Amino acid sequence: MMFWYDHDVSGWGWFAMSAGMILFWALIITVAVLLFRALDRPQEHTRTPAPPSAEDILRERLARGEIDEEEYRRLLNALHAGPLAKP
């Protein structure tokens, strides 16, 4: 019954299996850590919205009823005219 002893794993076989198992678990742990870090990091591509322009604020004030249409047009014309020149 030599069949049972013919297929023994040599020293290099044990080394290869051990190294393979260590590399396998290192790969699994590395992927898990990288995935966790990627999901935990705040999104860099999301930007904060730009502050509303003066025209947007005027439109909102008109919509809320804080100013009437006449004052809206007057203030809008003043915005488009540019800064006031001081004599």
Each residue's pLDDT tens digit, 46-75: 677 788 998 999 999 999 999 999 999 999
Q: Is residue 40 part of a domain?
A: no
Signed CA dihedral, 57, 59, 64, 66: sign only: positive
Helices and strands in the chain: count of H runs, count of E runs: 4, 0
Q: Is residue 2 part of a domain?
A: no
Structural domain of 60: 52-82
**Using one digit for the tens of pLDDT, what is the confidence trace for 17-52?**
899 999 999 999 999 999 999 888 776 666 777 889
- Structural domains in the chain (count): 1
Q: Is residue 57 part of a domain?
A: yes
Is the pTM above the cut of 0.75? no
Q: Is residue 17 part of a domain?
A: no
Q: Is residue 47 part of a domain?
A: no
Q: Is residue 64 part of a domain?
A: yes
Q: Is residue 14 part of a domain?
A: no
d(CA 62, CA 57): 9
